[in-house]
Every structure is written in structure tokens, then in C-alpha cells.
Structure 1
Amino acid sequence: MTASGILVAGTSSDAGKSVVTAGLCRALARRGLRVAPFKAQNMSNNSMVCADGGEIGRAQYVQAQAAGVLASTAMNPVLLKPGSDRRSFIVVRGRAAGVLEAGQYAAGRARLAEAAFAAYAELAEEYDLVVCEGAGSPAEINLRDGDYVNLGLARRFGLPVVVVGDIDRGGILAALYGTWALLSDEDRALLKAFLINKFRGDVSVLEPGLVEITRRTGVPFLGVVPWLLDVWLDSEDTLAVGQWRAGPTAPDEADGGAPDRLTVAVIRLPRISNATDVDAIATEPGVDVRVTIDPVLVDAADLVVLPGSRSTATDLGWLRERGLADALVRRAAARRPLVGICGGYQMLGRHLEDQVEAQVGVVPGLGLLPTGVEFAHEKVLGRPVGSWRGHRVEGYEIHHGIARRTTAPSLSPDGAEEPPTPFLDGWQVGTVWGTMWHGIFENDGFRRAWLTEVAVAAGSRWRPATDAPGFGARRARMIDTLADALEDHVDLDALLGLTRVGSTARAAATDSSASSLHPRAGSRVVPGAR
């Protein structure tokens, strides 16, 4: 049977599987192929709501955008959302499907595998090619029995496997060889290529090592992808939170920021979810974003973002233990800007009643917004649309907590009653904002207008650059840059030759009008080291 797809595996988490998959989706779509991304099981608290109302990993949603197709729950049929070190909430085909304890994982995978395999078969029927992303590393032999996301998936559907290694981590040759060495003979038979990611320098220095690894394993290298400084895409891995913070630190940031810049502190909660909400803020020229757990930075920043959480009540207790809750209350009293999103918004209310997530009963909130929160077993999933001061705002909702207005008055710092103002299905009191909606800052007009208000309140002279590209345009440019790099440094023809579309892809590649996704005519494929 000719392979209906390929599997992009990695030597470790955050080795580049997600971005390589996104780049392949765009590069192959340019060739006129109808391509679908797929990840059988994703363990991530960064998720997105599809147009059909189902929830999938954020990375797969962006990969679908890269392929130019509508995201669907078949592209990430199993999503595990960690609620603690030993407990995950299960999402199957976009809908909540119970809880999985650590000790139940091995026994509980059979039904999840069935859902994953059925979803892959569905995509394979509909699309020319399915580009699959693995999870973690196939060398995790302790998880091989019952595996359905790495080599278990590849064996089931006869998929050729490409292993990606991040050279920036160091030890790349050992990681690639060790991955191959730990596999069984049957699994090794599917390992068809290695790929180096994030290379900087002269590739000729690296090539002798690649030749020796191929001699020892029989596995060729299809390319060496260079370091792409300005390319970062929605991550599924909490280890990568804040990876956009690669630029130089503002000179006066440690003292609260230069007067013409805007400093933003994002609190890194233990169970942070949808940290991608901050991505669009971080792209604004003159805005310095730092992920932190330091109360001193929380006090000093112009704006603090309290993001979502997969265990809201537990993370609220953690805020109190770290002294961060006191820092947030001080900010509100001093009228310094603070915004809470989803779980962060819930923490800013008067109380939480949780018998669902952390199952802790009623706990007091920070008392900064006029809401009480009750957690429901049924998860709210939606893609709401609203407005703020004439700016259209689109977002998405993923939450169990239901926030309702309380009857107690909201008080200003001097003790006077202060009426709350509606804010995107949430509330604003003074310089404290809260909303259940994720993704609001991806709306360019709203983001820039709201940040201007924040800057004025914080006493910063920062103002948005009117000629800066929008967030959507920047993301599209990043995807194209990534696809260009794969076209130039990876032998895509050899990769396609391993699949059922290999014989027709070369003909399609000569037609530069085959897809509106192709930004440049006559892109050439330069084979990597083989």
C-alpha cells in the first residue's frame, strides 16, 4: 500500500515538529496538493475552537491555516489537557470526554487509539496527503506498547517517518543516532529520513557527522534547515511559552521600562493555558513582554496579563503563596493596568465555586471585579464576536467556569462605589479588565486602541506604530518564510517520493498558478545533505 501521508517525529519535545509540519503544509499546498495536518494525540493546554464548535490543539489549527484548509476536529482527534501532574482532561473529536489519571493511561489508550485511527482514515480519504506530527519522541520506548501517535500510527498506516532534531539544543548527532538505536527492527524500517532544524553556521562543518550517521544507520538526511530568528508559531508545549521573547531587553526594563516603551508582565501560572493570547501583544513595536513569576516585575510593569489556567482555583492558591496575589491587589489600588483572560478573569472575581476542575469547593477570589464563578460540568466552546469602542472583536471561548455579576458594589481605591463597565462579555473596573474570550488581541484595531488606553493609564508615552503589519499578516509571513526555507534546504521531491503523490507532485510544482498560497514563482528545491 502506498503511503497516504508522512509522519514528522522528533528527537524530543519542542524539537521543531510543529513548525516543520506547518512549513510542509504550506510548501506542499503551493504545489497544488490538497494537504491536511494531523496529530493523533496532543497534550497541551493551548487549544482553539474550530468553526464547527469543536476544540483542537492550537498548533494543528495554525497548520490547517498553513495548508489553506478549514480546521476540523479530525486533525487532532485526541487532546489531553493537563490539570495536574497526574491528571488530564480528555477531549475526543473536539468534545470533553472525561478525565484520565496517570495510572489509567496505559489501560485507557485503546479507545483513544480507535478514535485517532478513524480520524486519520477520514482525512486520508478526503485529502491528497496527510502531514502528521508526532508527539514527544518515538524513542520513548516506555510508551511504545499501545502507542498511536508516533510509530504505532506509522505502522498502522505504513507511513514513512522523518525524524527532526534541534541542533540548537546540542548533542544532535547523539540524539538522532540514539533515536534510531532504541527502535525495534520493525519500527526502524519506517524511519526514512533525518532532518536538522535551527542550524547556524557553515553546513560543510556539519556534513561529515551526517555522513557518518547515515553510514551507521542507513538513514539519509533530507536537509538542514537554518535558524529562522523571526519565525515562531503557536506552540503546544508550555516549555516554549514566551519564545517570542528573543529580542533585546529594553535598556530600562528592569526599572519598569523606558518612557516611550510599554512593558508587559505575563504571569506564568503552573497550569497556564492559551498563553498564545499574548503573542499579538508581543509583536507590537516598542512593547516588551516578559513571562514571569516575580512579584517585583509584576509591580513594575506597565501592564500585567493574568492568563488562562486549566486549574483555576489551584493556580489562584499558588498566586497567594508566591505573593503575586498581593502584587495584583496593589496594582488595582494604584490604578495600574491589569487584564485577566478566562481563568485569569475568574481569579479577579469575588469567589469561585469549583466541584469540577480542582474540586475544592468555594474559595475567595481577588475581589477586583464584580463576578462570582461557578464551574459547570459542561464545557463552553464558542467563537463569539463583539465590539469595543467601535472596534470589531472576534474571539473564542473554552471554559467550565461561568462568571455572573454579583450584587455587591465595586469599590474604587478610596472606598467609593465605582460602577463596572462591560468589556467583551466581561467587566472593567478602573484599570482592571476581565474577559472570558481568548484571541482578542489578534484583532489589530482593538489591540492597538486598547493598548493605547493602557499606555495612557500607565503614564507611558508608547503609541502604536500605524505602519506596522497586522498580526495575521505577520503570521502568514512567518509561515511563508518557513515554507521558503524548506523549499530551499530540504529535498521535498525525495520526501514526496515516499508517498502516493510522489509521481504527480513534480508536474504540479511546475505550475506556479496551481495555488494562491504560492508567494513566489519558480521556487527551486535544493537537496540537503544526503
Structure 2
Amino acid sequence: MTSMIRRGPAGAPALLVAGTTSDAGKSVIVTGICRWLARQGVKVAPFKAQNMSLNSAVTADGAEIGRAQAAQAAAAGVEPTAAMNPVLLKPGSDRRSQVVVRGRPVGETDALGYREFKDRLRTVAAESLAELRAEYDAVVCEGAGSPAEINLRRGDIANMGLAREAGLPVLVVGDIDRGGVFAAMHGTLALLEPADQALIAGFVVNKFRGAPELLEPGLDMLRRLTGRPVHGVLPWLDGQWLDVEDSLALSGERGPALAPLRGRTLRVAVVRTPRISNFTDIDALAVEPGVDVRFATSPHELDDADLVVLPGSRATVADLAWMRERGLDAAVVDRAGHERPVLGICGGYQMLARTIHDEVESGAGAVPGLGLLPTSVDFAADKTLARPVGSAYGHTVEAYEIHHGLTRIEDEPGTERFLDGCRRRAVWGTTWHGALENDAFRRAFLADVAQCAGRDFVPAPDTDFAAERTARVDALGDMVEQYMDTDALLRLMEQGPPAELPIVPPAGLPAG
């Protein structure tokens, strides 16, 4: 298949997958296309010029990128690099975000201040895409949000701004499960100026469930109205929640419907704070048979939990204040006082400290923590980015770190070291993300939790999280192969959008 991918003057062929909305399925479809191409022997790379996400990953050389791009690289069978997501925005509040460029934080800004970064970031994005097109046989790009966010078009570097600069053909994906997909697709195209419309090569309908013949009249009318084909109608797939980057994808329950293991279930409640980050730490728990994982935002939702997890946070002090406003802090402290298990990961681990000193993230100075571990936290300007290896319960643990806070552990009786963190009775804390993906460690930890909680629960001996992740990625590759016009995909990547595509009124918006 590699010989069928012909390089052009700009390097490797490339395609941009845009969406009518956030969470329309862009990440999933890019992952599936990468998997399908890799199966054909194509050396393919994912690319997202600008990502806004609190779910990130660390590359082998210590760069921070969006979690979705790391997952897409894994689907492609290649090592993730900073070039695959050159600009990452990590919101710390409704108005301010940390700006990460080529895997390194360069500052905090609000929406207005971000405009000052735009020219530099546009160059960084273009250079990163050119780097990938020089190294790989093909590049599959993912847009951000919607290309029809006309208030943001002038400074756009991730959607039509990128497509225009690089001459990329664009597929627009719509989520039919939301309703109004035809209006969303037609409206997206109509809101674009003519030069942008000329790059929109077709549509993909995502999350369809029902009789295909009922959809066909709508597809025909969309073709007539826009002059563009529908290159695929993708079915609804259950269980594709691994490695999501957007908290929009979170729901009250995590994972598939699970039958109790030999009549026994371990209940896990994850506190869903406003700035929850790297919540994919929980995915490995959710694939365990007999483990019931739910997100919680009120104290009573913790009542029957055997394990409460305080996950990562982009705004530790602010999220801790949010917990106090709702009485969740008291509920967690009460649990620990009754020897009921609590696990804190990264920002959640910081919350368990006696004192948090933060002049960096929140500027709040000294703030009391929950006091459940004999630790104190000092926030540093430099971010720690690493992929550590350690051991716990006699098993090797591979993980990754992304944090500003540095935790000091007091050497007090009854305190045990736990990975890089510590444990005191039924409270565990660590800065390591991804530790629960290590199967043997996860089973040992869950067995310990069950014993502390007085639950008659035994982890399944053969759950393989890496294999589960691979199976789900393979399902996406199968979906692309079966339900998308893959010949058309290859044509678009090699030849670009068809010439003289019709312009859909109303157009004529100001140029970007």
C-alpha cells in the first residue's frame, strides 16, 4: 500500500478531519484512519495544530501533548512526538489557560492576550506539520471545535486557517446522535467564505443507529444542496471511551455495563472537579470485571463507595475550594477517619496534604489541605514532565508525571512509601499518572483496597488493559475500512479537494 501513497511537492499527503461541534467524533475518526492506514503498511502520523484539553500525555523525550494525539500515534504504531500537537492549551479557569508550545509551557494567558501568541503559533504549527510530512508517508490532521466558529476565524490555526495554508482537503464530521446533523453540516459549509468552502471535500455521518434506508433521502438532499458526497456513515460503537481528551465525554458512569464478578462488585467513586485532568487514569479501573466506576459531584454519591479517587487537577487550590463549598472535603475526611480507602493522583494527591503553598498556579499562598497525609506541597514555576519507572506491591510500574507542585513527605510512624508518594492507613497518594494501567500492580492495589473496605472482591487474574485498548483501536480501524469510502480518502490525500466545488450561499464572509 505504501507505493500507492504518492508524495507531492509539500511532502506526504495529508487530510484534515473537522467537525460540526466539539465531541462530534474527530478524534475517534482520526484514530481509525491512522489504524487503517498503518495496517496497509503506511507510515502515518496524527496531527492537531492546537488542542484545548486537560488530558495530556508525556512523550519519550519529556514533551507534553494532548492525550488524543498520543493515542492516535499508538494506533498508527509510531512513537508520539511534540510535532504531533505543537500547541496545547490547558484551561486553569474560565478565562485563563496555560500555553504549551512544542511540549513546553511558555506562559499563562487569557483569550485577549492569546492573540499576541497567534503569529508565533501559526508558524510553529506550519513548521510542525511540514516536519511530519517530511518524515512520514501520510499525515491525518484533526481540527479543533468547529471550522464555522466565525468569531475565531481570523486567528484560526487549527481548522480552515491550517487547511488554507497547507492546501489540505477537509472532511466535516457530524454527530447524528445529537440531532440536526444535516442542518449542522449544511450550515457549517454555508458559513465559510468561498476560499474555505473550496477545501471542504465531503462529509462523514457519525454515531448512526437505525435503518440505513431511512437516512438515504437526507444524504441525497445534502449531496444536492452542497455538491459534496458523504464519504461514510459510521455506526454507533459502544465502549469507545478510552483515551478521550474532552470532559464533555464524561458521564455519570464510566465503562461498559459490568456483571458482578462471582456476585461481588467493588464500587469506585471519582470526584469530578471542574478542572479535572488526566481522568483517563480511571479507564484501567473501568475495564476490570466487577469494578463499578462512577463520577461524583456531591457528598452522598460517596456514601456507598469502596474507594474514592481524587483525580488530577489543572487547578488544585480552586478545585479543593469547590470541594469545600459542596461538603465533599468533609465526606472524604470522614471516610479516611473510618479507614475507608481514598486514592489521590497528582492534583488529588496534593489535596491530601496538610498544607499547599501555591504562588504559581492560583497565587493563593498557603492553603490548608485535607490533612490526610503527612505531606506539604510547594508549587514551582517549572513543570515536571517525566516517564518514571518504579515498583509497588512487588510489581514494576511504568507511569508519567505532569505537575508543578512538589510534595515533601514527613517521615512519621505509620507512613509508607507508595510509588513516588506515600500511604497512611487507607489513604494512598502519588503524582504518577497511568500507574493503574500496569495490570499486576492494579490487581494488587484493588485486592488491598477490597481488604481495607471489607469487601469480598477478588480482581480478575487475566484482565489485560493494553490488549483492551488495542482491541478498541482495532475496532475503529475496522469501522473505517467497512463504513468509509477508503478509495476516496486516498484520492483526497494525494490529489486534494476536487476542483470547482460549488459555493453554498450565504457566503462572502471576511477573509481570515
Q: State the TM-score, normalizing by the size of structure 2.
A: 0.92
Spell out the pairing of 1:68-467 with structure 2 (5 A cutoff).
Answer: 68-242=77-251, 245=254, 247-248=256-257, 260-406=264-410, 409=412, 418-467=413-462
Q: Which residue of 2 aligns with 1:484?
A: 478
Kept in 2: contact 1:78–1:116 (CA 8 A): yes
1:300 CA displacement: 1.8
Q: 2:22 — aligned with what? A: 13
Indicate conservation of the 8 Å contact 1:128/1:501, yes or no.
no
3-state DSSP of counterpart to 1:300: coil
> How far is the alpha carbon of 1:103 from its aligned partner?
1.9
Matched, 1:495 2:489: yes
CA–CA distance in structure 1, aligned partners of residues 215 and 134 of structure 2: 40
| Secondary structure of 1:144's aligned partner | helix
d(CA) in 2 for partners of 1:89, 1:185: 34
Where does structure 1 differ by over 6 angstroms across 4 or more consecutive aligned residues?
none
Contact 1:380–1:400 under 8 Å retained in 2: yes
Deviations 1:216-252 (A, max 9, x none): 011110110111113233111111124873644889x
Change (3 A) 1:269 1:212: same
SS of residue in 2 equivalent to 1:70: coil
Q: For the residues of structure 1 that align with 2:426 and 2:215, how far apart are their CA atoms? A: 54
The alpha carbon displacement at 1:193 in A equals: 1.1
For residue 109 of structure 1, report the CA deviation from its aligned partner.
1.4
Q: 1 CA distance for matches of 2:495 and 2:74? A: 21
Deviation at 1:476, TM superposition (A): 0.4
How far 1:500 moved relative to its partner? Answer: 2.5
Q: CA deviation at 1:491?
A: 0.5
Give the secondary structure class of the aligned counterpart of 1:422. Answer: strand
Q: Provide the C-alpha distance between the structure 2 equivalents of 1:289 and 1:427, rounded to a whole number of angstroms.
A: 24
| Structure 2 counterpart of 1:450, one-letter code | F
Q: Check the 8 A contact 2:239/2:256 in 1, yes or no.
A: no
Equivalent in 54, 57, 60 of residue 63 of structure 2 = 54
Indicate the SS of the match to 1:401.
strand
Rounded to whole Å, the distance in 2 between the matches of 1:368 and 1:245 is: 27
Given residue 88 of structure 1, which amino acid in structure 2 is its aligned partner? S
* 2:65–2:86 contact (8 Å) kept in structure 1: yes
Task: Determine the C-alpha separation between the residues in 2 that align with 1:107 and 1:396.
Answer: 32
Give the aligned residue type for 1:297: E
Equivalent position SS for 1:326: helix
Q: What secondary structure does 1:165 align onto?
A: strand
What RMSD in Å do the two structures reach over aligned CA positions?
1.7
| Aligned partners of 1:44 and 1:236 also within 8 Å | yes
Amino acid paired to 1:52: D
Can you list the C-alpha shifts for 1:259-286, whole angstroms capped at 9, x where unaligned? 7100000000111110010000001011
Report the equivalent of 1:412: none
| Residue 509 of structure 2: aligned partner | none
Name structure 1 gaps, 5 residues minimum.
252-256, 410-417, 503-530
Structure 1 Cα separation of the partners of residues 9 and 300 of structure 2: 59
CA distance in 2, matches of 1:378, 1:230: 37
Cα distance between partner residues in 1 of 2:64 and 2:200: 31
Equivalent residues of 2:258, 2:291 under 8 A apart:
no
Deviation of 1:459 after TM superposition, in Å, equals 1.6
Partners in 1 of 2:410 and 2:369 — Cα distance? Answer: 13
**Deviation at 1:101?**
1.2
- Aligned-partner Cα distance in 2 for 1:485–1:338: 39
Alpha-carbon separation, structure 2, partners of 1:472 and 1:293: 30
Structural mapping, 1:504-515, within 5 Å: none
Partners of 2:253 and 2:23 lie apart in 1 by 14
TM-score w.r.t. length of structure 1? 0.89
| Residue number in structure 1 paired with 2:3 | none
Cα-to-partner distance string for 1:443-480 (whole Å, 9 max, x where unaligned): 01100111011111112222112243x11000100011
Task: Determine the C-alpha separation between the residues in 2 that align with 1:264 and 1:21.
Answer: 31
- Separation in structure 2 between the aligned mates of residue 476 and residue 146 of structure 1, nearest angstrom: 37
Q: CA deviation at 1:36?
A: 0.4
**Is the contact made by 1:232 and 1:244 (CA closer than 8 Å) also made in structure 2?**
no
Shift of 1:297: 1.5
Aligned residue identity for 1:449: A
Classify the secondary structure of the residue corresponding to 1:497: helix
Change (3 A) 1:160 1:219: same
Contact kept, 8 Å, 2:232 with 2:483, in 1: the verdict is: yes
Instruction: Give the CA deviation at 1:336.
Output: 0.3
The aligned amino acid for 1:264 is: V
State the secondary structure of the residue aligned to 1:434: strand
Amino acid at match of 2:175: D
2:154 and 2:247 mapped to 1: Cα distance?
26
Which segments of 5 or more consecutive residues in structure 2 lack a partner in the other structure? 1-7, 497-512
Letter aligned with residue 184 of structure 1: E
Structure 2: distance between partners of 1:455 and 1:245: 19
How far apart, CA to CA, are the structure 1 residues paired with 2:310 and 2:247? 16
Identity within the alignment, %? 59
Equivalent pair of 1:24/1:131 in contact (CA under 8 Å): yes
The CA distance in 1 between the partners of 2:359 and 2:315, in whole Å, is: 11
Cα separation, 1, equivalents of 2:161 and 2:333: 50
Higher alpha-carbon deviation: 292-301 or 41-50: 292-301
